[in-house]
Structure 1
Amino acid sequence: MSIVSPLPVLDAATTQTRLPMAELCREVALAAAELAAGHIHSPERQALPLPEGGTLLSMPASAADIAIHKLVNVCPRNGGQGLATIHGVVSVYDAASGVPQLLLDGPTVTARRTAAVSLLAIQTLLPQPPRHVALVGTGKQARAHAAALAETWPGLRVDIHSRSADSAATVCQQLAHLPLQLTPKVGRIDDGAEVVILLTTSRSPLYNEPARAGRLLIGTGAFRPDMAELGPTSIAGSQLFCDDVPGARHEAGDLIQAGVDWAQVHSLADALAGRFDPAAPKLFKSVGSAAWDLAAARCALAASQQEHRA
């Protein structure tokens, strides 16, 4: 008779505690190298229709040690019922036996690992730690990025940009507990910002200034061909990087609409290996990958095992 242990199910708060940013960044860096070497398998995500304009997204990945499957439901009309728009889970399995190991909160994994990818880009492509970062957007990803920045560089100046002064001010108030110098902003990015991170689902570019050395641009929000946060002027003058180049060919609306030469778009693994011009303006596009969910699962498993031993 086989005895099956209960599957640990982590809610959003517990999932977040299992994903400390420093460890998560290290796991993402390792996963990027494994993905480039073909040791992580991460096919393109599948999208299935749900009623009322919803979408079910399926994102699996496997490696020598574990396999994961993230299922996310995006239901735009949930707001009218007082429900969150996005729900989902990340299931984690032992790769050799297929035995389930853990169930993580999907939206929390996505928010934390997306922020980790952005931080890894900053740590890799910026010559020194940032002193001033501009976040464009006021949604969940903006909050997740602010929290990640606070964990990594406490005391950092962070501007929260929105089309609405009230919205920017509200987010700054909600994040006032973080060790950051928060400033609500509307309009043009301050000249002193060394990093600009765009975190919206805009369908037209929000930033199209000429690229300049010393400022890193990061686009995270536009994940469909009809979306664009970064404009062609900024893109044309930058050395281009992407967390998942094959996925970006179909999903990175900013780059697709700008008609980029994909042979000139470098991977996160290239950046981590130092294959870039330190003096050139740089733009990093993030479209996400199940490989980063797998990295987060490794991080959560290690934290859970450490807690169990304690």
Structure 2
Amino acid sequence: MTLILTRSTIRALLADRAEAVEAAVARAHRDLARGRAVLPAPPAMRLPDGDGAFVAMAAASATDRLATVKLLADLPGNPAAGLPVQRSTVLAMDAGTGACAALLDGAELTRVRTAAATAVATRALARVDATTLGLIGTGPLARAHARALLPGRPYGQVVLWGRTPERAHGLAAWITAELGLPAKVLDDPRAVTEAADVLCTLTPSREPVVRGAWLRPGQHINAVGAPPRPDHRELDTEAVVRCRVVVDAYDTARAKSGEVLVPLAEGAVREDDFRVELGDVLTGRAPGRTSDTDLTLFNSVGVGLQDLAVARMLIDLAGERGAGVPVDLGS
């Protein structure tokens, strides 16, 4: 039987499970560094009559006994029809039998695993005395990041900015009411960047929203929001050059990340400057932050192994709680 997990079911199963999701994502990255998982660079398919892309994000894990593929549709024209730019579905197969274990809506899963990866990287790379969290972008990904980053951490305030003032003030009010931390809307991305000890960029930007000249020693930046396209980035070249860069997966970043591909094309960085993966830092194979004055950057493109780790968790939770809809695809 194949388990069908809808967005609402996934949201219910993952409610108040931020720490467990973070642990699952961290383990997946350690498994990748130790050779217990497979993560090929995802191919992008483009139709000749449009600017959309379909990205097949595959992964396999010996630990989780799954092979998965998430088919991500990145369609910039969708908002004109009132639809989201990105939509995705995850197919999970039992690695031992090849049986189709589950079919999962990708939206909530992707938001939660992306925020969890940021939390893992921030724990590994940010200064322990970081007190101000900065958010650039105010969409659902920003809320997911606030949920993942704030509980149990010593932040004293959140500063944020978004293109739509009403949404920015709404996010600030939600953070204060739901998470109990003062949140303030600032005038522009520069103000947020200069105020933050930990900065998360969460916009689908083609052009940089953060400049290297605004950064100061000791900050940690999570570049998260840009879609997996080589010409989209949220940080300019100077910002990347100034930072110690850690990627989620080298092959994926080399194929999809404008954050590294644009500076590489400009000759401002070398490939060795972004070969350190998050799993290398988590397993101690490579250093992350080496001093309180380091500028560190987690370049998060998003990888299929993160989807796999959370899919494994969801399948197990659904089995325990009798959630989801079983379907016999072979009937």
Could you say which structure has the greater relative contact order, defined with CA pairs below 8 angstroms and 6 or more residues apart? 2
Q: State the 1:295 CA deviation.
A: 1.1
Distance 1:173 1:192, change over 3 A: closer
Q: Could you tell me how far 1:126 is from its partner in structure 2?
A: 1.8
Return closer, same or farther for 1:282/1:154 CA change in 2, 3 Å cut-off.
Answer: closer
Residue 262 of structure 1 corresponds to 271
Q: Which residue of 2 aligns with 1:67?
A: 67
2:126 corresponds in structure 1 to 126
- Judging changes above 3 Å, is the alpha-carbon distance between structure 1 residues 190 and 245 closer, same or farther for their aligned structure 2 residues? closer
Deviation at 1:166, TM superposition (A): 3.3
Q: Percent identity?
A: 29
Query: Corresponding residue for 1:252?
Result: 257
Q: Map Cα deviations across residues 257-298 of structure 1 (whole Å, 9 max, x no partner).
A: 223222132110122134324212211101111111111112
- Greater displacement, 44-53 / 290-299: 44-53
1-side partners of 2:193 and 2:46: how far apart?
A: 41
Give me the whole-angstrom Cα distance separating, in 2, the residues matched to 1:128 and 1:42: 31
SS of the equivalent of 2:123 reads helix
Matched with 1:98 is 98
The CA deviation string for residues 134-174 of structure 1, in whole angstroms up to 9 with x for no partner, is 11112232222123234554975222212443342233345
Q: Is the 8 A contact 1:219 1:229 kept in 2?
A: yes
Does residue 303 of structure 1 match 2:317? yes
Compute the TM-score of the two structures, normalised by the length of structure 1: 0.88
CA contact (8 A) 2:157 2:182 kept: yes
- Structure 2 match to 1:272: 282
Q: Secondary structure at the match of 1:288?
A: coil
Counterpart in 2 of 1:288? 302
CA distance in structure 2 between the partners assigned to 1:54 and 1:249 by the alignment: 20
Structure 2 counterpart of 1:246, one-letter code: D
User: Would you say 1:215 and 2:219 are equivalent positions?
Assistant: yes
- Return structure 1 stretches of 4+ with deviation > 6 angstroms: none
Asked if residue 189 in structure 1 is aligned to residue 217 in structure 2, the reply is no
Shift of the alpha carbon at 1:36? 2.0
Residue 12 of structure 2, aligned match among 6, 10, 17: 17
- Partner AA of 2:55 in structure 1: L
CA distance in 2, matches of 1:129, 1:109: 30
How many residue pairs get aligned? The number is: 304
Judging changes above 3 Å, is the alpha-carbon distance between structure 1 residues 151 and 102 closer, same or farther for their aligned structure 2 residues? farther
CA distance in 2, matches of 1:53, 1:236: 30
The amino acid that maps onto 2:45 is: L
In the alignment, is the contact (CA less than 8 A) between 2:203 and 2:234 conserved in 1? yes
Change (3 A) 1:201 1:80: closer
1:171/1:308 Cα in 2 relative to 1: closer, same or farther (>3 Å)?
same
Contact 2:18 2:147 in 1 (8 A): no
Residue 29 of structure 2 corresponds to residue 32 of structure 1: yes
Unaligned 5+ runs, structure 2 = 324-331
Instruction: Measure how far apart 1:111 and its partner are.
Output: 1.0
Look up the SS of the partner of 1:9 in the other structure.
strand
8 Å contact kept, 2:230–2:256: yes
Q: What is the Cα deviation at residue 232 of structure 1?
A: 2.3
Shift of 1:102: 2.1
1:199 maps to 202
Judged with a 3 Å threshold, the aligned counterparts in structure 2 of structure 1 residues 202 and 190 are, in CA distance, closer, same or farther, namely closer
1:213 Cα deviation after fit = 3.3
Q: State the alpha-carbon separation in 2 of the partners of residues 53 and 238 from structure 1.
A: 32
Equivalent position SS for 1:8: strand
Residue 34 of structure 1 deviates from its aligned partner by: 1.6
Give the structure 2 partner of residue 168 of structure 1.
Answer: 168
Question: 1:45 and 1:297, CA in 2 relative to 1: closer, same or farther beyond 3 A?
Answer: same
